[in-house]
A and B are shown apart, each in its own frame.
Chain A
Amino acid sequence: MANSTLPSDDELIPRLLANDETSYAQIVSAYHGLMVHLARAIVGEAIADEVAQEAWVAVLRALPKFERRSSLKTWILRIVSNTAKSRLRHESRTVSMDESLEESPIVDPARFKPNAHWASPPVMWHADTPDALLASTELRSCISDALSTLPPLQRAAVTLRDMQGLSMEAICKILEVSESNGRVLLHRARSRIQMAIEEHEGQ
Chain B
Amino acid sequence: MPSCKDITEHSSDYLERNLPWWKRPGYWLHLAMCIHCRRYVDQLKLTIGTISKSPDATPPNISTEEIQAIVEKMKQSTKK
Using a CB–CB cutoff of 8 Å, the interface residues on chain A facing chain B are: 1, 19, 21, 24-25, 28-29, 32-34, 36-37, 40, 53, 56-57, 60-61, 105-107, 109, 112, 115-118, 121-122, 124-125, 128-131, 133-134, 140, 143-144, 147, 158, 162-165, 168, 183, 186-187, 190-191, 193-194, 197-198
**Known A28-B70, A112-B5, A187-B12: A143·B77 in contact at CB below 8 Å:** no
- Enumerate 12 A-B pairs (CB-CB under 8 Å) in ascending A order: A25-B71, A28-B70, A29-B67, A33-B61, A60-B74, A122-B40, A124-B39, A143-B50, A162-B51, A162-B57, A187-B12, A187-B13
Chain B residues contacting A191 (CB-CB under 8 Å) are: 8, 44
Identify the 6 closest CB pairs spanning chains A and B, nearest first. A116-B3, A121-B36, A33-B59, A163-B57, A187-B12, A37-B59
Interface of B is mostly: helix
Of all chain A residues, the one with the shortest Cβ separation from B52 is A162
In the complex the two chains form, what is the Cα distance from A190 to B39 in whole Å?
15
A86 to chain B, nearest CB (A): 17
**Known A24-B75, A60-B78: A198·B43 in contact at CB below 8 Å:** yes
A32, B51: Cβ atoms closer than 8 Å: no
Chain B residues contacting A34 (CB-CB under 8 Å) are: 59
Using a CB–CB cutoff of 8 Å, the interface residues on chain B facing chain A are: 3-6, 8-9, 11-13, 16, 18, 34, 36-37, 39-40, 42-44, 46-62, 66-68, 70-71, 73-75, 77-78
A21, B46: Cβ atoms closer than 8 Å: no
A144, B56: Cβ atoms closer than 8 Å: yes
A19, B73: Cβ atoms closer than 8 Å: no
Of all chain B residues, the one with the shortest Cβ separation from A33 is B59
Chain B residues contacting A21 (CB-CB under 8 Å) are: 71, 75
A194, B43: Cβ atoms closer than 8 Å: yes
A33, B60: Cβ atoms closer than 8 Å: yes
A133, B39: Cβ atoms closer than 8 Å: no
A163, B9: Cβ atoms closer than 8 Å: no
In the complex the two chains form, what is the Cα distance from A21 to B67 in whole Å?
11
In the complex the two chains form, what is the Cα distance from A131 to B9 in whole Å?
26
Of all chain B residues, the one with the shortest Cβ separation from A188 is B12
